Amino acid sequence: MLKIIFLITVLVNLVFFSFLHRVAVALERHEQEREDIVIRELVVNNDNKYRTVICKNEEEGIKELRSLVDTSRIEECWIFLPPEERWVEIGSGAVPETRVDDHFITKVGVDVQFMESVMAKNNSLIVYHIHPTYSLFLEHQMRKCRENGQPMKEKEVKKARTEFLIKRAYPSGQDLGNMIENTMEFIKKNPGGNIMFKICSHYGITECYLTKEGKIYFICDNYPDLFEKIVRICMKMHRDAALAVENYEQKIRKKVNLLYRIKMHSKQKKRSFLRANNGSKFEIDPFTLINKAFEAMSSDYLKVAFTPYTQRE
């Protein structure tokens, strides 16, 4: 079931990625007319009449992104320019999480023409966006349980929310598609430059990037060929991640079950095992699951890395 959910999510996100690519050209003229407004803090802005600019270093910006992750109901995107210590909003047309049939989708477009102009003028930039902690999907699950006369218990709600927050650290199909396409565009405009793509979520920062082999693999003469390659690699990445997480969880369950089958008068072994698993018999460390998933996602062409906020403080 977990693998099926992952694959459906990837496909839906990739469909939206394709849709956003098709409408981007039509939006470019409108985006060019946006006025730059310098403000003091990073904000989520879904008013396409203006573009926000914030003068802060990277660490200061990340602190504000962490706050937006917990308070915003929509995603937003920025370019951070390290030499200038400047954040520039590039998000466009962001909408809150929406239910489409049985799927729940969030999306934010990118000011394509403006982003390409920034690429051409800067040889070092970082593209940031946030994955908010709000979940319409989780609320829907809880409501269905109540309507069926089986409301979720507090422990079940906590577990479901933790699972959701873990998955929010994952790059979606749309995220990966945008990263690949924009990396290849950046290379054309600035072969000697450096571009990074990062996601701020509840637990930390996810970075996605192409390897040298990946930059060669994704060279394509036309968009349909590029999109086919993106779909293929995204499907494999999320499938491998789901299998890695499932196998790790099964391994932990077997250890727990074995522990309780062994008749011990001493608690030494039990305490040792629980310390190795963060003091819990049944809970698995979210950071471990995220890292296991990202190890499986990474390949010769594309790498996914995770840094908890605590390691940056």
The pLDDT tens digits for 84-107 are 999 999 998 777 777 777 677 777
Model confidence at 272, pLDDT cuts 50, 70, 90, reads low
pLDDT value at 297 more than 90: yes
Which tokens hold the place of 56? 């802060």
Q: Is the pLDDT of residue 75 over 70?
A: yes
- Which residue has 């394709």 as its token pair? 18
Provide the 10 A C-beta neighbour count for residue 22.
10
228, containing H or E segment: helix 223-261
Handedness of CA 91, 93, 97, 100 (dihedral sign): negative
For 165-218, the pLDDT digits (tens) are: 999 999 998 899 999 999 999 999 998 899 999 999 999 999 999 999 999 999
What confidence score (pLDDT) does residue 253 get?
Answer: 76
pLDDT above 70: residue 289: yes
Q: In which band, very low, low, confident or very high, does the pLDDT at 112 lie, cut at 50, 70 and 90?
A: confident
Task: Give yes or no for residue 3 having a pLDDT over 90.
Answer: no
Q: Would you say residue 1 has pLDDT above 60?
A: no
Contact of 174 with 197, CB cutoff 8 Å: no
Average pLDDT of every residue of the chain = 82
Q: Assess whether pLDDT exceeds 80 at residue 60.
A: yes
Tallying the residues shown for the chain, one arrives at: 313
**Beta-carbon count within 10 A of 77 CB:** 21
DSSP bridge pairs for 204: 308
Percent of residues, the chain, with pLDDT higher than 90? 50
With contact defined as beta carbons under 8 Å apart, do 179 and 197 qualify?
Answer: yes
Rounded distance, CA 222 to CA 234, Å?
A: 19
Supply the pLDDT for residue 145: 86
pTM > 0.85: no
Of 254, 161, 260, the closest CA to residue 202 belongs to 161
Backbone angles phi, psi at 202, to 5 degrees: -65, -40
Q: Is the pLDDT of residue 239 over 80?
A: yes
Query: Which 8-state DSSP code applies to residue 221?
Result: S
Assign 3-class secondary structure to 255-281: HHHHHHHCCCCCCHHHHHHHHHCCCCC
pLDDT of residue 29: 45
Yes or no: say if 9 and 173 are a contact pair by the CB < 8 Å rule.
yes
The whole-number pLDDT of residue 141 equals: 80
